[in-house]
Chains A and B, each alone.
Chain A
Amino acid sequence: MEWILDFPSTIRLDFTKQIDAFIAYLNVHYADFFAGLKAILNSVIGGIYQGLELIPWWLLILFVVLLTKKLVGRYRTGLLYGLLMFLIGAFGYWHMMNETLSIVITAVILSLLLGLPIGILISTSVKVNSIFRPVLDAMQTMPTFVYMIPAVMLLGPGKVPAVLATVIYAVVPVIRLTSHGIQQVDKEVVEAARSFGSSRWQILAKVQIPQALPTIMAGVNQTMMMAVAMVVTCAMIGANGLGMEVLIAINRTESGRGLVAGICIVIIAIIIDRLTQSVSAKGGR
């Protein structure tokens, strides 16, 4: 009668070996594929980093000031953001910021390239939606390290697995909010578009997406925020940048160094958040 109280020890399912074997199989047989993938992503990340490095520090700060003025409408806010960026440089983290930004930007571009079409697809069909929902839930709740380990095994440590892990984590909100935004569009407006003989494509491009734009932009904003939030986690698989600095500081219990690097991440997050939010507010009205 023990099995009532304690889970019977005779029942044991063990897939771990098979999964390990599968990863090893991929590693051996698709090495070329993963090497190619790594090379492509590396050149994208590297290209963005080189691009950022080419921009003189004062020009980037000036750009942020002017962009803020244009989007938020106030010079004071722009100057504040410029000052905050100046602080990052003053802390000695300008190049690390560029490294971090290159990872974040690559991850965000990939997330949008994947997320927007998937979000649109999900919004059009109940069936696709019911397939994708549990997948999205899993992507959002699965502990990041779980897919980081195979990613590192297949791609080797560095920025590429970091970007992929960031994409998995950050792509979900843009998918969810794109599909939600499109489904939310006033039924009568869609019906009206249909009644004038619009094709499905025209309804999507001329009515549903423009009408859903504020919600979609909110998703984009969320995706960016989550990508920035992954920075330290990514450092654990060898992605250099501000995250690495935080990680090193933690390992050496250097509170000051950790805090300063952490503040720089916060500054980046705040500036990205405010700027994209004002874009989404403008997109709506």
Chain B
Amino acid sequence: MEETILKVEHLYKLFRSREIGASEETAIEMLQQGLSPAEIRAKTGIVVASNDVSFEVKRGEIFTLIGLSGSGKSTIIRCLNMLHRPTSGHIYVENEDITKYDEEQLMKLRRTKVAMVFQNFGLMDHRDVLSNVAYGLEIKGVNKKERESKALEMVALVGLEGWENKRIDNLSGGMKQRVGIARALANDPDILLMDEAFSALDPLVRNDLQFELLGIQEKMQKTIVFITHDINEAFKLGNHVGILREGEMVQLTTPEEMLANPADDYVRKFIDNVDSTKVLSVKNIMVTPGAMIKAGDGVNIALKSMKSNGLSSAYVVGEHMQFQGLITLENALAVRAGQLNFEEAIIRDIPIIKDIHTPIADIVNLAANARFPLVVVADDGSLQGIVSKAAILSSFSG
């Protein structure tokens, strides 16, 4: 963890508008004289996307950059593999200044050391999953057999076995991004750049992928630069977090330190959004119960339903899906043995949630003390779904 693999020094990136001919150099001078990016934009038409940004990333760590849209984070990450050429400043990858590289050297850098994952995946829909993953190897000139076996390995790593030959259009958003990650990893890069990689995904899938990314990182010890606008994501993933405003680094530290001592109101505002369980509601994590029987069905159907679903309990509902209770395998067997009657066997004291928009934070205590998953019912008492303790836990840790 000690060695610095990536170092950014006084990085400026300015975008010149076509109409007004002021040079970037004058604009940088104006910045250094203390003019704000907004003033410079009004005067010269030049947009300051990165304003004197410096940071270091150690080998094997996850460094997250966070900022609102337009804060320059996407520009900065594109400077790290020179998709954008910085206006001034230096970027060192393993102590080599890549801003001095020519096109040939840059191609080599991108093929071997730095790979990128994109917000909207950037996948080629004329290729299947496997040849998308193999793309980086293909352009390096790796032979077909070798690149396909490597690609298969990566597809397995991101949990997409069996999907190798599927078309990209057939995948969900989460799966597409798994392909994106596999494609980047197939090149075996030292540094992985992730530009809002999970922002286009829905919260649950995002949680899964964050969790898996941490797992992959644990296994492969990559260095990751992760861009996000979501502070929860930044804190969950990052060993260090840099927070950007209008192209300027406002604070650069560990998540704990940032939580304890936010540099200013801008940072504080971000931090106010931290608790992820406030964002996720019951609706996001509830699932349909596997085994469900009608009250009139009797014990044999209950047993059969449990057996065919591989579960040890079944939910009992009335004629119009009204939730009545739960019957365990133990009780059902007792009924069949004649020790209990069916009505007595149904457990009815199960905590019920009436609003599917209840934040998860509000049901933690309820769930902690419950013996069975919580039950979610609609206003008319009909069963909507169940929320297991495991689901609640993973919504925290993911």
Contacts and interface: CB of A to CB of B under 8 A. Distances in A.
B124 A191 contact: no
B347 interface: no
Nearest to A207: B124
Interface stretch (B134-142, B146-154, B254-262): B134-142
B116 interface: yes
Interface string A204-227: 001100110100000000000000
Given A207-B124, A213-B126, A198 B139 contact: yes
A189 B123 contact: yes
Interface stretch (B45-53, B104-112, B224-232): B104-112
Interface string A167-206: 0000000000000000000101101111111110010001
Nearest to A211: B126
Chain B interface size, under 10 / 10 to 19 / 20 to 34 / 35 or more: 20 to 34
Contact of A191 (B109, B118, B139, B140): B118
Contacts of B121: 188
A150 to B, nearest CB: 41
Contacts of B111: 196-197
Nearest to B81: A195
B122 A186 contact: yes
Interface residues of A, number: 18
User: Which of A188, A192, A213 has the most chain B CB atoms inside 10 A of its CB?
Assistant: A192
A259 to B, nearest CB: 44
Given A195-B110, A202-B139, A188 B126 contact: no
Interface in B74-129: 81, 83, 106-112, 114-116, 118-127
Interface in A212-250: 213
Given A195-B81, A195-B83, A197-B107, A210 B136 contact: no
Interface of A: 186, 188-189, 191-199, 202, 206-207, 210-211, 213
10 contacts: A188-B119, A188-B121, A191-B118, A192-B116, A192-B122, A193-B122, A194-B83, A195-B193, A197-B140, A210-B124
Given A197-B106, A197-B136, A211-B124, 7 more contacts: A194-B110, A196-B136, A196-B187, A197-B110, A197-B140, A206-B135, A211-B125
